[in-house]
A and B are shown apart, each in its own frame.
Chain A
Amino acid sequence: MRRKLSLVIAATFITALAVINHGCSRSGSDVGDNDDALAVDLNDSKIQERLGVDDGYAFAIMYGADIHGSLETCG
């Protein structure tokens, strides 16, 4: 009985830890992996043109620079 109780406590602890860790990883996850409400209509021809052809690339690096303290650009 004592052994079963220990197992239940251990399982509960592991489950709780997994839930906590899952929560942490979600809050720091990459752009687009969560909160997936898209502002873009993927069927829009202009958006499709901007996205280009999906030709089998394995991964992508998006990059920028020189925002110089501004999350916006000039008006």
Chain B
Amino acid sequence: MGGLARRVSYIKAFKHRSNMEVPTLLVDAGNLFTDDRFSASQLPPEVMTRNKWVVKGYGAFRHDAANISYLDLPYLAELLKKDGYDQRIADYPFIERLVSANIHPMDDQYREPAPYVIKEITLKRGAPDKTLKVGIIGFSEPKPAGPNGKETVYAGFRIDDPFEAAKKILPELKRKTDFIVALAYMDIGSTQRLATENSEIDTIIAARQTSNMDEPQHFNRATITYAYNQTKYLGELRVYMKGDGSPENQINRYVALDSTIPDDVPAQDVVTQAHTEFTADQNASASSAAAAPKSPALLASSDSPYVGVETCAGCHEKENQVWASSRHAHAMATLEKRNQQFDNECVKCHVVGFQRGGFQSLYTTPQFANVQCEECHGPGRQHANNPGKGYGFMATPSGCVQCHKEPNDPDFDFAVYWPKIQH
């Protein structure tokens, strides 16, 4: 579900259905860019390529604004470097529509991001011929660090208190505009606080990798909605206006971007070009990694709490045969067909022990690729060292739906799926 090509296709249909009478803004609430494998102030070449194509794609299919979240900062640093900035803006004008009211560069090699953008739209309904100035402003929470900690400095940028920034900038934006949309990369409590403390805001569109489609909340005069993780469902906020040009009501819908919505051809061309370039970069990285000596991570895999399927099969041969003929055993191949084997958002459900001491990457820990025994039964190191009862409890179906959740697998039915892997 989801993807740029379906998103564009739906928006075109939406505008045509209303005879092009309805101005439609397109915004992103944050986490546009990947910071995967960011280290030593650098992103790997293939990650840079992915992010560059987001800038290109969002520019080509014009997004009116996008919020800068803490996750976006490593790549934002590349975009906002003063060196070469004018040429970059000429090539990718979308950069000027990246907004944040509370993120600032730590030194003067970077430009300040704009705190907000103002978009003028002319209404044909509600208050015909009225020109409405819509202000779109961005906020991000600090980067989480540890169980309760927060990092307010990341990748050369400072993340200030969003509530103080809001108090400072919103009155100015209110004077300039008729309607304010705040994009907030924040948890629910913080988003509610932002609405409660700032009566200037008409709408808050928030995000934080959530997969809930709750009804909008209303705090102060603001409507709060949440963007769906990865935009698998497109948020559609309809705004109704009174004859005097003031807002009357807002209604939120989530649109499933499934196969009912065909790909937009020009948008799919952009996605295909991105894919081709990204694949070439991946292959180059894979070649250099293959030529390098074995990495320390691989050599140290005996320290992992996971042992891998080969060890399990030593005693559980019958169960291993069932697994080997299941789709779990070929989960990584599914991603490889689409060149998504380095996309951690996807990888986490196609391997064992991702970010829990198991799979790291295909370069360093290939032995933990695919959905192996320990992904469901738990880390097996102790059991392998000291075999006995008490290991292997599996919570079903609650364990399964960690990955087989609705947007990933809308047809998942435990009663149908379980017999396919029963052992």
Binding site for B on A (CB under 8 A): 28-33, 35-40, 42, 46-47, 50-52, 54-75
Contacts and interface: CB of A to CB of B under 8 A. Distances in A.
Contacts of B47: 69
Contact of A39 (B30, B238, B251, B263): B263
Nearest to B275: A72
B54 A29 contact: no
A42 B22 CA distance: 16
A58 B134 CA distance: 13
Given A64-B28, A69-B50, A59 B121 contact: yes
B397 interface: no
B227 interface: yes
Contact of B12 (A31, A59, A64): A31
A71 B57 contact: yes
Contact of A62 (B11, B93, B132): B11
Residue of A29, A35, A46, A62 with highest tally of chain B CB at under 10 A = A62
Contacts of A70: 34, 50, 54, 230, 340, 343, 345
Contacts of B373: none
Contacts of B270: 71
26 contacts: A30-B64, A31-B15, A31-B62, A38-B9, A38-B16, A40-B13, A42-B17, A50-B261, A58-B124, A58-B127, A59-B123, A59-B132, A61-B27, A62-B27, A63-B28, A63-B29, A63-B236, A64-B29, A64-B227, A66-B230, A67-B31, A72-B3, A74-B335, A74-B343, A74-B408, A75-B334
A57 to B, nearest CB: 4
Contacts of B25: 59-62
A41 to B, nearest CB: 9
Interface of B: 1-5, 7-18, 20, 22-34, 36, 47, 50-51, 53-54, 57, 61-62, 64, 67, 71, 75, 93, 121, 123-127, 132, 181, 185, 203, 205, 207-209, 225, 227-232, 234-241, 251, 253, 255-256, 260-266, 270-271, 274-275, 334-335, 337-338, 340, 343, 345-346, 349, 408
A39 to B, nearest CB: 4
B234 A66 contact: no
B125 to A, nearest CB: 5
Nearest to A56: B125
A31 B11 contact: yes
Nearest to A40: B13
Max chain B Cβ within 10 angstroms of own Cβ: one of A40, A50, A54, A57: A57
